[in-house]
Structures are given as structure tokens and as C-alpha cells.
Structure 1
Amino acid sequence: MSRTHNPCQWLPVLLFLLQFFHTSNGDVGTAAQYPPPYLPTACFGSDSLQFPESNLLAAAGDEIWYNGASCGRKYLVRCISTEQTGTCVPDKTIQVRIVDYAGDIKTVPSVSGTTMVLSQTAFGSVANSTAKSINIEFQQV
């Protein structure tokens, strides 16, 4: 029994893999959470009009702060892992806006030294809010 393979039968699979690898260009880091009050901020002072209505906001850690250049930037963020299994919300990606510098936030974050410190609303959207920190994939929009 000889079997011939049509090379075109693999084309859909190859296209899918190329698309997957092309769109997976996010960075990997860590995130913690912090409670309100979120004002004043290093980026916008006491101007809460700069906050997204959804309250999906974040403070930038040293890794992405760039001397304030990250102020106002938007990032897609998703939880990829934690110390405790089942903590991440599966397949959930959110968009956050950088409004502050993690080194200057007025309330104590759950963990210091992370890539981003997410508002309680943002953190709870991608992970169980009882987690202290999470591993994230993020990409600037």
C-alpha cells in the first residue's frame, strides 16, 4: 500500500502556526495588586479624568517605567501562571493604562519589585484576587 501525500494538505496548519507565532510577541513579567486610593499619581497628579472608566489601571515597575515615558501607555495583560494552580482566569486578556510609577504609589502593593502593579479591579479581572502576585504576558498596544 503506497500512500501519497498532498503537500497542500498541510497549508492550513502551517498558516495557523505562522499566525500564532507572529502574534505571540508579548513580554513576560510579574504583576502585583494595590488598593485605592489611586490618587495622586506620578503621571497625572490628582487628575482622575486620565483613568480609564473601567478602572483597569496600573503602576509601572522599573522594568517598563522609562523615566515616566510609560505614562498613559496601554498594555494588553494576561495571567499565564502563579504559584497556586487555578489562580489565573483562563484565556482572559485585559487592557490597562499606566497611570503611576510603582515606586511612588501611596498604598502598599501585595508584592514589590514587579513589572506592573495592577489596580484591584484589573488584578481581579485576570486572577483570583487572593493571590499576592502573578506571572503575566504583556504587550504594548
Structure 2
Amino acid sequence: MEKATLIFIGIVACLVSIASAKSGIATFYTEYVPSACFGYKPEGDMVAAAGDELWDDGEVCGKTFTVKCTGAQNDVPHPCTGKSVKVKIADQCPGCPSTMDLSQEAFAHIADPVAGIINIDYEEHE
């Protein structure tokens, strides 16, 4: 009975995690400062700029998200690495076609940079 209960709890936890993830699109950029959130203070390589859909008048500045590639947006076959990456929102990307404009390093962690634009699932950390 104990083993079955643990398995059930594990399945429910996975479903909750999947249900709370949102879908979006990611691109990447290479110039990280100055940023709309932190000016000329570097925030590392695992950063992202929020597209209009996510920006919320800057309320998202400094928040962290786990991002995972879910597929191609173009003709690049199998761009995803199968990994996820944790990024901090450090900038705004006004008018971007993407939900998140990831740093080149963050993008390369989850997908082949040749793809340039990918589908993602992302989840905010509290």
C-alpha cells in the first residue's frame, strides 16, 4: 500500500507541474547590458528579455523561470536538447515575436541556436 501511495503522489505532482507550465515562443539575443531591469549591472549569462505578452509594465523584472524547448517554429528538424534552463528576466523585448528572448547561452542549453526560434513551455518560480 505504501508503494502505491508514493507512486500516486508522484503522478499527481507531475501532472500539477505540467498543468502549471505555459506555452510560448523563444528567440535569442547577445547583448545583455544595458537592460530595462538592471541598467548596466550584469546579471550573468542565464537571462532573458520579456516579450510584450510577459512584460506586464516591468512587474516581471528579476523573476525567474524554468524554460524548456518543445519543438521547432521553422524547418529545423529536432532543435530541442531535452534539457531545461532557469533564466532571470533582466530586460524587455518590445515588439518581439517571442514570449521570451533568451540569452544565447540559455537558448543553446535547450535548443540548437541554428533554429533561431522555438516553441517553449515556461514556468515561473515563486
**Normalised by the shorter chain, which TM-score bucket?**
0.7 to 0.9
Separation of aligned partners in 2, 1:102 and 1:10 = 47
**Distance in structure 1 (CA, Å) of the matches to 2:38 and 2:10:** 42
Q: Say if 2:57 is the partner of 1:64.
A: no
Q: CA deviation at 1:46?
A: 1.1
3-state SS of 2:68 partner: strand
Aligned to 2:85: 94
Structure 2: distance between partners of 1:16 and 1:30: 29
Alignment of 1:104-115 (within 5 A): 112-115=96-99
Question: 1:69: Cα distance to partner?
Answer: 0.6
* 2:26 is the counterpart of 1:31: yes
Q: Distance in 1 between matches of 2:79 and 2:112?
A: 5
For residue 28 of structure 2, give the secondary structure of its aligned residue in structure 1. strand
Sort the Cα spacing of 1:117 and 1:9 in 2 relative to 1 into closer, same or farther, 3 A. Answer: closer
How far apart are the structure 1 equivalents of 2:86 and 2:11? 25
Pairwise CA distance, 1:13 = 5.7
Q: Using the alignment, how far apart are the partners of 1:9 and 1:41 within structure 2?
A: 50
The offset of 1:29, in angstroms, is 0.3
Q: 1:73, 1:101 → 2: CA distance?
A: 13
Which is greater in Rg?
Answer: 1
- The one-letter amino acid paired with 1:123 is F
Instruction: Give, in angstroms, the shift of residue 137 of structure 1.
Output: 0.5
Distance in structure 1 (CA, Å) of the matches to 2:58 and 2:3: 50
Matches of 1:98 and 1:17, distance apart in 2: 30
Report how far residue 113 of structure 1 moved.
Answer: 1.7
* Match of residue 76, structure 1, among 53, 66, 69: 66
RMSD over aligned Cα, in angstroms? 2.0
TM-score (norm 2): 0.86
Measure, in 1, the Cα distance between the counterparts of 2:88 and 2:3. 43
Cα distance in structure 2, aligned partners of 1:76 and 1:97: 9
How many Å separate the matches in 1 of 2:49 and 2:22? 17
Structure 1 runs not aligned, ≥5 long? 1-7, 105-111
